[in-house]
Amino acid sequence: MAEKIRSGAARDLLSRWLFAAGYDDFDAVSGILDAAQGIRASDIFAGPLESYAVSPDGKLIGTSHGEALAQAAQGKRIVSVSGIETHVLALTAEGGLLGAGSDSQGAISGILKAAEGRKITAIAAGGYSSFAVTAEGTVLAAGMDDQRGIVTPVLRATSGEKITAIAAGLWHVLALTADGTLLAIGDDPVSCQPVGGMRWAAGGKKITAIAAGGDISLALTADGTLLAAGDDGNGVVSGILNAAKGKKITKISVSRDHALALTADGTLLAAGSDSQHQVSGILKETKDKKITAIAAGSYHSLALAAPANSIDCPALEPGQTCLAFASPAHTSLVIKRGTTSITLNAGTAKGWTATETPQQIVVRAGSRDIAVGSVYFTTPPNGPTGINREASQLPDGLTATADDTNRITFHWTPPKKH
């Protein structure tokens, strides 16, 4: 049977485009494009041979190879997915942990047991191993722990540290502390050094984001500089560093042999193996598009883009989040916190310093309040502002979409009169 190589876009009539390109024998490309038609995708994730999209209400949509996880996630709001050839993990908005796939070496059962009764904030699937971070910053680990396993080394290296993010390659792990220090642990072949090379590159720098895949490590500094180390056999490391040179990077994703990066102005960068058009295909599909999210699978790539008529955000002050209001004309959105408030007219965006305290949210038509509710923001230390959907009580007809560019768009659709 000949390999299927596909690329294309799924139109999301409500807010975004979803793009996919690469190896399609397991429907990682065509399957997610079909499944996402007509859905307002708020995030995307790529496993080795599968693809996932998340709707604004947190529903996980998976391709056929990811069906087991999608079934396990039914009725739950999903905020993160991490997968490797053997198994996949998912994180719910409430901090719950899900797993699917092979339980070889206890990679699934072990991490689920370790996470019982704990709120999880970050996850990573590695070679026959799984990792999770609790709300207190403690790392949990399970799976292969023989001479090549990295479970015990990771637990030792992170002991006593407050960890905020974690990423896993095949045999190495990156962890990020609350003060922005990068820890690199695990197998470090002399020929590529995804551990030692990244330690050297990140030394003395404040790191804000990490990614790992195969024998490759990526990281972002506080000023948006991309760092990369590891296997450069397909030009992944040198290629993505060259592409990102002189640019401010906001998001990164890497698989075993190709990498994606997103610039501050929404341009997608890609480098590495193009054997299945996972690089050239996604670059072609996203040309001249403003990209908001990216995900690299083993042999395919995914990207989300804002529509051509999206609302531009103004320059933001430090600590601010871009809030936009997509609505019919003659309406406005007001958010109040104590004596402070912000008003967004239809089709506009402004900067707002979000806090995790309760805030009133009002939709107005002229001077008349037509819908009233409350909104709670989430403000993670190393990530974009989001919406606490469990605590928030948005009025009927008002929805919110948060993305990785520190932007939240509120959409108002007047409820039908009965």
pLDDT in tens, 166-175: 999 999 999 9
Quick check: is 166 in a domain? yes
Q: Which amino acid is at 373?
A: G
Q: In 3-state terms, what secondary structure has residue 106? A: helix
> For the chain, how big is the Rg over CA atoms in Å?
21
Q: Residue 20 contacts by C-beta under 8 Å, 6 or more apart in sequence? A: 6, 7, 8, 9, 10, 28, 29, 32, 33, 51, 282, 285, 300, 301, 302, 303
Q: Which pTM does this prediction carry?
A: 0.77
What is the structure's pLDDT at 171?
Answer: 94
Provide φ and ψ at 385, rounded to 5°.
-65, 140
**In what side-by-side order are the strands of the sheet with 43-46?**
43-46, 51-54, 60-62
- Shared-domain flag, residues 296 and 325: no
* Strands (DSSP E) found in 222-283: 226-230, 249-254, 258-263, 268-272
Domain range spanning residue 378?
321-412
- Shared-domain flag, residues 100 and 143: yes
Here the CATH number for the domain that contains residue 363 is 2.60.40.1720
Final residue of a domain: which of 246, 278, 305?
305
pLDDT tens figures, 246-280? 999 999 999 999 999 999 989 999 999 999 999 99
What is the structure's pLDDT at 8?
Answer: 60
The DSSP letter of residue 393 is: B
Quick check: is 212 in a domain? yes
- Shared-domain flag, residues 33 and 103: yes
Burial of residue 70, with CB atoms counted within 10 A of its CB: 0-12 exposed, 13-18 middle, 19 or more buried: buried
Find the mean pLDDT for residues 323-332: 86
Final residue of a domain: which of 252, 273, 305?
305
Quick check: is 310 in a domain? no
Least confident of 287-291, 321-325, 338-342: 287-291
Antiparallel, parallel or unpaired: β 407-412 and 321-326: parallel
- Shared-domain flag, residues 377 and 250: no
Final residue of a domain: which of 246, 274, 305?
305
Structurally, the chain folds into a number of domains equal to: 2
Least confident of 28-37, 296-305, 359-368: 28-37
CA nearest to 333, candidates 398, 278, 391, 267: 398
Here the CATH number for the domain that contains residue 183 is 2.130.10.30
- Looking at per-residue confidence, does 397 or 37 come out higher? 397
227 neighbors 201 (Cβ within 8 angstroms): yes
